[in-house]
Structure 1
Amino acid sequence: MIDRTATDTIKGYFYQFDLSILKLLELKDENHKITVEGIEDIDIDNATIETAVQCKYHSKKEYNHSVVAKPIRLMLNHFREVLNGTEKKVKYNYYGHFKSGQSKLTLPITLDFLKKNLLTYTKAKIQYKHYDDLKLTDKDLLSFLNQLEININAKSYEDQLVQIRKLLKNQKEFKADDFEAENYFYNNALKIISYLAIKEKISERTISKKKFLQEINSKKILFHKWFLEYKGKKKLLADLRKEYFTSYNISPFERFFLIEVNPNYTATDLKSVIQLISKKWSDIKSVRNPDTFCPYVYINGLKKSDLVTLKTELYSEGLIFKDGFDFNGSPFNINSIKERATFHNKITFKIINELSFIELLLDDISKTKEIYQFFYNKPFFKTAKTNVNIVNIQIEELNDIKNII
């Protein structure tokens, strides 16, 4: 049975994270900043004024004054603290989404409404007037009202997300399509905001629009926990397959599949991944086809003895491959591993023994080259070559690769 309470709580976190992303993207000046979990959930600093935003997502709850009363009282506490201080002026913003009941609140609210419905409450059968406890005058409260904005018609979770994707697509630094806006830049943005939220010092939870855009401007697929929670692993893997691996066997490119294994890998899983790559990304079926091809495979983190065992098992199962070593004790022969796969020689894939051989091949091959790198924590291969398309995809387990390709 699904825990609906937990699901709603997680959605509330996402809503706050998303609002932080949205507020950053909406800043007019790239040097302006926001602070996550500052005075309120989000503090927006535009150099002359600071706005403290309390964000609440009540998609299944009807609006009642009591729901917003406590957040408003907490805002008033801060107002009282800085009332006679020298700090810059602070605006207070309650930003909430409710299922219904918005008509109960008439805006702008009056002083009498503020005192009666938001600042007066009962606890243990005792009535408290919060403004009296803080020793605030009507003049003080009117000043607070001038700095307070209440929005109980905030966008839904879905509509807010659509707005974020649109803004990410329109960022001139990104030039993103729908897939990139979601899987690269929104993914990265979630990671940045969630990391900020858990920092201990308030100064560490502050970021400028300029730095934010710089940090999320990376086209690298990451299995960040919040993004996985948002999208779901099955949907993410399906989208990766659609974006990169749907149209296989149509272009005779030189494709490199770089696969990382961890100490807990199983030979069965690894062989099945290689067999699938060989099946989908080689074309030697026709004797008349002049553009036959097959993929290169490199396995990172595999012991030499295990690599020998892997090759032996693959060969015994009838798979024909090249590795650039034509006889026992021979040196690496780049022309040998480059031998074109054909209908006659039945070569269906090529195994690269060492990471350094990849650069040698990239230098020597003149055809279009594509690299798909599957890693656990960080990419293990990088190249300075600009004529090579590299797709970096983080995985949680080897079998993720089969679900992607």
Structure 2
Amino acid sequence: MSRSANYTIQGFIYQFNKTLLEVLNGSDESEITVEGIIEDIEVKTDLVTKAIQCKYHETKEKFTLSCIYKPILQMMDHFHSNSNADIEYRLFVHFPNEKIGTKQFLSSEDIETIFKSSDKNLKKLIEKNSEKNHTEFCKRFTVEFGPSLDELIKSIYKALVENGMPESDLESLIYPNSIQKIAELSILREPHQRVILKKDLLNELLKVKKASLSRWTKELRTLDKIMKLKKQQLRINLTKNSRLRYFIISVDTIENFNENIVTFICEYLTKYHFKEIHDKTPVFCLDCPLDIYLNIIQRLHRKKVKVNDGLVAGIFDKGKFIIDPVRGKISKSFYREFDLKLIHFDKEAIGIINECKCEDCFLFMENLPGELDTEDINIEHMYINEIEKIKFIMGMSDTYE
């Protein structure tokens, strides 16, 4: 991951954490909008709406006004289009050398300095607002210097406990799922869908049982604890000998997918599908280019893995794919017609998965397929990029370093 991409992710993580803290510290009646119409966070009460934009400058040694020209101009522009609304504008920023909790206000000199900027990206905003009276906006605008991400998380832990969450589950279960909930709300299309109340969040968190491994929770400082909890949770069903399991794995999610997938499948079979009592054939559905998929079948064959890909004379036959393998003993050796079923990800594959229900469906991809029927099956949806981490949570290795 590039440095700029990492900074972007950390910025979102900081924003989600600040949003979560606003929810936890708010009143029961306050409506918090994630990714609001105005700013990153909107806190609406009967009297006023507080619009908050977050900026995380972990690597900046010193605060300068120029670092926040753009958000100031954006807020100013919104104010002049909605000057009759009761809105307070807050810029919540972190700079390592600024004292936490201190506030800064805009002066007329600051406004003049901003409008003298030669930044081409700000030209339109400057031209649109430079001739307006900004006295009232300055009264409503505040810069607040926030804590580091680590300190912000400590405040969240404290707030979670104060709101009745069990302290023992904070780092591995409650906190990660809180962040995941905020992240899920942030991508919903309609503003009303992104509104959350404290009581609703707390009720939802009390019902959470599964550790969350998503695009966002895997970036948290507590990832190791999340991984270990997930491994413990998955072990309950993975240790059951007779259990039908499906795997849907995306090439876009797994790093070095083509280099690792064959080894992963073989190691899974060695761990979980080698005894006579292992009577449910695992299904691997691979979301990858067709040429890579066909190459994987060839490589499995060279590894002496017997695959049912459902093909008859080069044409996929559903009936052949869904049948169970012939099993029996030859002399003292156990014989199985095939070791796994392999299918290329498409609508037909999802249709078969929906029709022939499994007990556990493991999905290693960013988003659940919209057509997937999740009723009456155990869904384990995880966004993990590294194959070693997948092996770890699946109980196939003792470490992921």
Q: Do the structures match in fold with TM over 0.5?
A: yes
- 1:208 corresponds to which residue? 197
Q: Does 1:187 align with 2:180?
A: no
- 1:42 corresponds to which residue? 41
3-state SS in 2 of match to 1:71: helix
3-state SS in 2 of match to 1:237: helix
Matches within 5 A, 1:279-294: none
Q: Deviations over 1:151-192 (max 9, x none)?
A: 1x31101111222223223332xx4234x2233222322222
Deviation at 1:96, TM superposition (A): 0.5
Once residues 112 and 195 of structure 1 are traced to their aligned partners in structure 2, the CA distance between those partners, rounded to angstroms, is 40
Q: Does 1:15 align with 2:11?
A: no
Q: Which of 141, 147, 151 is the aligned partner of 2:140?
A: 147
- 1:25 corresponds to which residue? 24
Once residues 113 and 145 of structure 1 are traced to their aligned partners in structure 2, the CA distance between those partners, rounded to angstroms, is 11
Q: TM-score, normalised by structure 2?
A: 0.61
3-state SS in 2 of match to 1:190: helix
Q: Which of 126, 136, 141 is the aligned partner of 2:132?
A: 136
Q: TM-score, normalised by structure 1?
A: 0.60
Decide whether the 8 Å contact of 2:19 with 2:41 is kept in 1: yes
- 2:246 corresponds to which residue? 261
Once residues 263 and 109 of structure 1 are traced to their aligned partners in structure 2, the CA distance between those partners, rounded to angstroms, is 53
Q: Which of 115, 118, 127 is the aligned partner of 2:111?
A: 115
Deviation at 1:68, TM superposition (A): 1.4
C-alpha distance 242-32 of structure 1, shift in aligned 2 (>3 A): same
- Equivalent residue letter for 2:74: L
- Equivalent residue letter for 2:214: H
Once residues 177 and 316 of structure 1 are traced to their aligned partners in structure 2, the CA distance between those partners, rounded to angstroms, is 52
Deviation at 1:239, TM superposition (A): 4.3
3-state SS in 1 of match to 2:89: strand
Matches within 5 A, 1:217-228: 217=206, 218-228=208-218
- 1:63 corresponds to which residue? 63
- Equivalent residue letter for 2:193: E
Once residues 376 and 119 of structure 2 are traced to their aligned partners in structure 1, the CA distance between those partners, rounded to angstroms, is 60
Deviation at 1:375, TM superposition (A): 4.4
Decide whether the 8 Å contact of 1:185 with 1:219 is kept in 2: no
3-state SS in 2 of match to 1:122: coil
Number of aligned positions between the proteins: 302
Once residues 74 and 248 of structure 2 are traced to their aligned partners in structure 1, the CA distance between those partners, rounded to angstroms, is 51
C-alpha distance 168-243 of structure 1, shift in aligned 2 (>3 A): farther
C-alpha distance 157-316 of structure 1, shift in aligned 2 (>3 A): farther
C-alpha distance 244-170 of structure 1, shift in aligned 2 (>3 A): farther
Once residues 300 and 224 of structure 1 are traced to their aligned partners in structure 2, the CA distance between those partners, rounded to angstroms, is 28
Q: Which of 148, 156, 163 is the aligned partner of 2:155?
A: 163
Once residues 11 and 274 of structure 1 are traced to their aligned partners in structure 2, the CA distance between those partners, rounded to angstroms, is 40
Deviation at 1:244, TM superposition (A): 9.1
- 1:52 corresponds to which residue? 51
3-state SS in 2 of match to 1:262: strand
Once residues 161 and 212 of structure 2 are traced to their aligned partners in structure 1, the CA distance between those partners, rounded to angstroms, is 19
- Equivalent residue letter for 1:150: V
Aligned-pair identity (%): 20
Decide whether the 8 Å contact of 1:45 with 1:51 is kept in 2: yes
- 1:6 corresponds to which residue? 5
Once residues 181 and 379 of structure 1 are traced to their aligned partners in structure 2, the CA distance between those partners, rounded to angstroms, is 29
Q: Deviations over 1:351-371 (max 9, x none)?
A: xxxx99x9xxxxxxxxxxxxx
Over the aligned positions, Cα root-mean-square deviation in angstroms equals 4.4
Once residues 379 and 230 of structure 1 are traced to their aligned partners in structure 2, the CA distance between those partners, rounded to angstroms, is 30
Decide whether the 8 Å contact of 1:31 with 1:210 is kept in 2: no
C-alpha distance 268-163 of structure 1, shift in aligned 2 (>3 A): same
Deviation at 1:107, TM superposition (A): 5.6
Q: Deviations over 1:83-113 (max 9, x none)?
A: 2x3x3x100001101133x48xx96546333
Q: Deviations over 1:247-267 (max 9, x none)?
A: x9xxxxxx8575623378947
Q: Deviations over 1:24-51 (max 9, x none)?
A: 1111224533332420111111222101
- 2:82 corresponds to which residue? 82
Once residues 204 and 278 of structure 2 are traced to their aligned partners in structure 1, the CA distance between those partners, rounded to angstroms, is 31
Once residues 106 and 195 of structure 2 are traced to their aligned partners in structure 1, the CA distance between those partners, rounded to angstroms, is 34
C-alpha distance 205-242 of structure 1, shift in aligned 2 (>3 A): closer
- Equivalent residue letter for 2:59: K
- 1:229 corresponds to which residue? 219
Once residues 120 and 128 of structure 1 are traced to their aligned partners in structure 2, the CA distance between those partners, rounded to angstroms, is 13
Decide whether the 8 Å contact of 1:260 with 1:375 is kept in 2: yes
Once residues 156 and 274 of structure 2 are traced to their aligned partners in structure 1, the CA distance between those partners, rounded to angstroms, is 40
Once residues 128 and 261 of structure 1 are traced to their aligned partners in structure 2, the CA distance between those partners, rounded to angstroms, is 53
Deviation at 1:148, TM superposition (A): 1.4
- 1:388 corresponds to which residue? none
- 1:305 corresponds to which residue? 324
Once residues 269 and 110 of structure 1 are traced to their aligned partners in structure 2, the CA distance between those partners, rounded to angstroms, is 61
C-alpha distance 164-93 of structure 1, shift in aligned 2 (>3 A): same
Q: Deviations over 1:268-307 (max 9, x none)?
A: 623413679xxxxxxxxxxxxxxxxxxx98958666724x
Q: Does 1:99 align with 2:96?
A: yes
3-state SS in 2 of match to 1:44: strand
Q: Does 1:401 align with 2:375?
A: no
